[in-house]
Amino acid sequence: MQYHHQKNALCLMIVTAMMSSQSYAEDESNLELTDIEVIGTTPLHGVGLPADQIASNIQSATAEEIENSQSLDISDFMNNTLNSVSINSAQNSPFQPDLQYRGFTASPLIGNSQGLSVYIDGVRVNEPFGDAVNFELIPQSVISSMNLMPGSNPIFGLNTLGGAISIQTKNGFSHEGHSLEGYGGSFGRWSTTLESGGNDGNLAYYVSGTHTEEDGWRDESDAEIDQLFAKLSYQNETSTLDLSVMGVDSDLNGNGASPVELVKIDREAVFTHPDNTQNELRMLSLNGSHWLNDSLLLSANTYFRNNDRETFNGDGAELEFDGGFLVEEDETDRLEDTNGAEITEAALGNPDDDDLALNNTSETEQDSYGLSLQFTFLDDLFGKENQLIVGASYDKSDVEYVANSEVAVFREDRGTNGTGVLLAETAVDGKIDTKTFGLFFTDTISMTDKLALTLAARYNRTEIDISGTSENGDTDLNENNEKHVFNRINPSVGLTYAMSETTGIYGGYSESNRAPTPSELTCADPDHPCALPNSFLSDPPLDDVVAKTFEAGVRGKMGSTKWSFGFFTTTLNDDIIFFPDSDAPAGQLNVGVFDNVDRTKRQGFEFGLSGKRENLTWTANYSMIDATYESSFGYIDHEGDPQQVTSGNSVPGIPKNNIKIGLDYAFTPAFSLGMNASYHSGQYFRGDDVNEDDKLDGYGVVNLHSRYKLNKNVEFFAKVDNLFDSEYETFGLYGEPDEAPGLDALSDEHFVGTSAPRAGWIGIKISM
């Protein structure tokens, strides 16, 4: 998909704005951030339930609230505004964050333990291969509403260990009109969005296209994203039908964490490069609903989703020469190329041992398709108001995965030049077929005018069939010639009680499960450790992860102020984590296997306030999240020494305390100024599971945003991120800082994901 250059578009919009002479004096106040009255409780939404009848602390947002925040994307919006949400900048790219909610992760990185499911219009968009979530594939401009559903909600199916993100897109009935928006500023970031929607009462269309590009605030960290979404809709008194098409192309460079000593010298420097990811998404979905009678609603959807992913990562290598032949460090076995020939020093151009590197590449082709069907019954039960939803879903994916590692040589700038020689032991050619079937129900009955009871359950069956080879054909990825099959019934129960017209309490218990991903199953043999993210070997069985959540709280309203307080605890049985290999060199924590551990836990509490007083709208949120191991197991630390993780050790990478404050003030009907401030406490480095090292420091950051409406058609907006130019780190892990050229003097094994400096952008939006 092609778009005009943003700078030209911005110039056109500014000229158009200057031609408008009508002053804007309409009395419009800022939109108040309030809970959505009716919440869709299934991926297909349907009729929904009043928020006060849902036994959990659901957080919601509308298109207007997302737009007013001026966030980069939906992950940035959630990090800035929603309770218990934080971000780890493992890739140090703003478009590739690890989003964390209550200690559970949605990440684009294969190998991360994923614990959140993400749905767009009822379609689960976690990638089939590793349950990964690529946030740049979710166009923010097309979001009509989003709900952050907490807990192990079984209705949202696999991977809903700690929560689900349910997104509904715009259509021409809800979003009429046309607009052109563009902004630009720091880091060479420019973005242009075109939206258009309309209807004639029965037929509607909506289309949105966005182009975003930036140089990045770090070296070698440019990005370019094209997003296109279109929807045709039909509705009458009893039926709706929506046909949606989405296409996204992204080209992202996120070069990962840097040694702390390098960060002190130059925060913009990268350790090694390139680390490039290219995604190409094509998605088609059809959603419909029909009232069969006054109390029975049929809802259904079907979809096809193709996502092709290519990665290229230039990295350090644990390689050296022995007698003129290439070997692994401290080994004598000669390495072979993919043609079966031993690799000689002369064939590589006689590089020094210290200059050897690897170009790790992968190609993943993922085709997914499926359908969902649900019936909503609104008939009374035993004379009580009742809503019963019964549904089923079927999803199938076909994945082809090819990976190789090319011997390369470092340049002086720590980039890599390939030699054309591929290592035989790293060559993977795999195919994964996955089928998932779900059958569910959820029933909410009003026991009294004040008490509502919800019972729900879901049956999940997942079949994973892995075939192909690794190690250049020497190892069968399915040595047992068997499918991996996972079956489970997950229940939930919830109660809500209205203590008064302004105060209610809630409590519930829920269970959900996550089947091991193909990337975990093909990296689980202790006799054949793999190197993340590419090298996968045989597939011994793993158990599925089972999450069990208790949640309770109280919520209400005092005047114009809304408040909520709740606590939660989620225990994971057979949690899957990555165990570094005891034979790998010290500091190389990406070589090892996945395995189950008995139990881990995330528990804590949340407190939230929001309100409006005259022209001031405000929010305040605090959450405490305590993520711990609840069983003991052996582990290899970053120095290569065996350690014993004991019950009560903290899970690394999760800040315990999170505070967020938001303020928006309308100085006039046309001009508003807002800010959001957040604080996240320290966290242990990834790899410090025994908690013997110091934590990363906690950090706080303040952002500003403002809007000025010139007239009813034209508005200007601006924002400043990191107002006080704070320097902080959001992520830490261990590595070998001296394995790249020019860094021989570095010795500190701590690597960090660093903060971007103060930055600002200005833009204009023209609406008709």
Determine the Cα–Cα distance for residues 264 and 735; give it in Å rounded to an integer.
Answer: 16
Q: What is the mean pLDDT of residues 183-187?
A: 98
What region, left, alpha or beta, does residue 201 occupy, with left being phi > 0 and alpha being psi -120 to 50 degrees? left
* More confident site: 3 or 376: 376
Residue 183: strand, helix, or coil: strand
Listed residue (629, 631, 624, 680) closest to 651, CA to CA: 629
Task: Dump pLDDT digits (tens) for 707-740.
Answer: 999 999 999 999 999 999 999 999 999 988 988 8
pLDDT computed for residue 2 by the predictor: 40
Determine the Cα–Cα distance for residues 707 and 535; give it in Å rounded to an integer.
Answer: 49
Task: Dump pLDDT digits (tens) for 358-367.
Answer: 999 999 999 9
Task: Dump pLDDT digits (tens) for 46-91.
Answer: 889 999 999 999 999 999 999 999 999 999 999 999 999 999 998 8
User: E strands, 186-295, where?
Assistant: 190-199, 203-214, 223-235, 239-253, 258-259, 275-293
List, edge to edge, every strand of the sheet that includes 85-88. 85-88, 98-101, 104-106
Structure-token pair, residue 700: 């706080």
CA dihedral of 159, 165, 166, 170, whole degrees rounded to 10: -140
pLDDT computed for residue 521 by the predictor: 86
pLDDT at 16 over 60: no
Task: Dump pLDDT digits (tens) for 490-532.
Answer: 999 999 999 999 999 999 999 999 999 888 888 887 777 776 6
Determine the Cα–Cα distance for residues 638 and 612; give it in Å rounded to an integer.
Answer: 50
Task: Dump pLDDT digits (tens) for 568-610.
Answer: 999 999 999 988 876 665 555 667 888 999 999 999 999 999 9
pLDDT at 21 over 90: no
Percent of the chain predicted with pLDDT > 90:
82
Contacts 24+ apart (CB under 8 A), 129-132: 129/364, 129/366, 129/399, 129/401, 129/432, 129/517, 129/518, 129/519, 130/517, 130/518, 130/519, 130/520, 131/159, 131/514, 131/517, 132/107, 132/108
Task: Dump pLDDT digits (tens) for 674-692.
Answer: 999 999 999 999 989 999 9
- Compute the mean pLDDT over every residue in the chain, rounded to the nearest whole number: 91
Task: Dump pLDDT digits (tens) for 112-145.
Answer: 889 999 999 999 999 998 899 999 999 999 999 9
Task: Dump pLDDT digits (tens) for 294-310.
Answer: 999 999 999 999 999 99
Q: Which residues lie closer than 8 Å to 208 by C-beta, 6 or more apart?
A: 139, 141, 142, 170, 193, 194, 195, 196, 227, 228, 229, 230
Tally of CB atoms within 10 A around 255: 24
- All domains of the chain, ordered by start, with CATH? 6-316+351-767 (2.40.170.20)
pLDDT computed for residue 312 by the predictor: 96
